[in-house]
Amino acid sequence: MVLNSDDWDKLNDFIILDDFLLTHAGLHPVYIPSSVKNIEDVKIWLPEQLKRAHKLRSENVRHWIFNQGYRMGEDKIGGIFWCDANHEFHPHGNIKQMFGHTHQKEGVKIFDGGRDFCLDTFLRNYIMVVDGQLEIKSL
């Protein structure tokens, strides 16, 4: 299946569920400005960044959101789609996160005493958010 622009427009680049930020690969704190102090600030700041990133992408101009880190070798730190949890991710004390993207032999990698979770398990499990409830599903 090939996704067209209408399909891409239906995808969520991130979800905020309670006080967790859910992205594909995690949001590294290097990209978070000092004015963003908590999840409420993220709700305002991140949609603005994504809107700008998608506009620039349509103009073939790069934005940090789409940076490709460790595994792709183009950028020092990946954006929310390409950050490698084992080599790049660093917890942000005020923003709790759940993400995948990076294979974890142990199933789930827990950062910062349980504030951040990398849930990628060799494509065996995935997260669904249904009616505001997070569910971890297995294939």
Q: Tens of pLDDT along 62-91?
A: 999 999 987 777 899 999 999 998 888 888
Determine, yes or no, domain membership for 90: yes
* Predicted pLDDT at 1: 66
Q: 40 in a domain, yes or no? A: yes
CA distance 51 to 14: 12
Q: How many domains does the chain have?
A: 1
* Stretch 27-36: mean pLDDT: 95
Q: Is residue 7 part of a domain?
A: no
Check residues 80 and 138 and name the one with the higher pLDDT. Answer: 80
- Mean residue pLDDT of the chain comes to 87
Does residue 71 form part of some domain?
yes
Flag whether 59 is in a domain.
yes
Residue 57 gets which letter from DSSP? H
Q: Which residues pair with 101 in a beta bridge?
A: none
Instruction: Let me know if residue 6 belongs to a domain.
Output: no
Contacting residues for 129 by C-beta, under 8 A, at least 6 apart = 15, 17, 22, 135
| Alpha-carbon gap, residue 60 to 113, rounded angstroms | 40
Dump pLDDT digits (tens) for 40-62: 999 999 999 999 998 999 899 99
Domain that holds residue 117: 12-138
In a domain, 44, yes or no: yes
User: The pTM is what?
Assistant: 0.85
Greatest mean pLDDT among 60-69, 110-119, 124-133 lies in: 60-69
Strands (E), the chain: 15-17, 20-22, 96-99, 109-111, 116-118, 125-130, 133-138
Q: Is-contact 64 50, C-beta < 8 A?
A: no
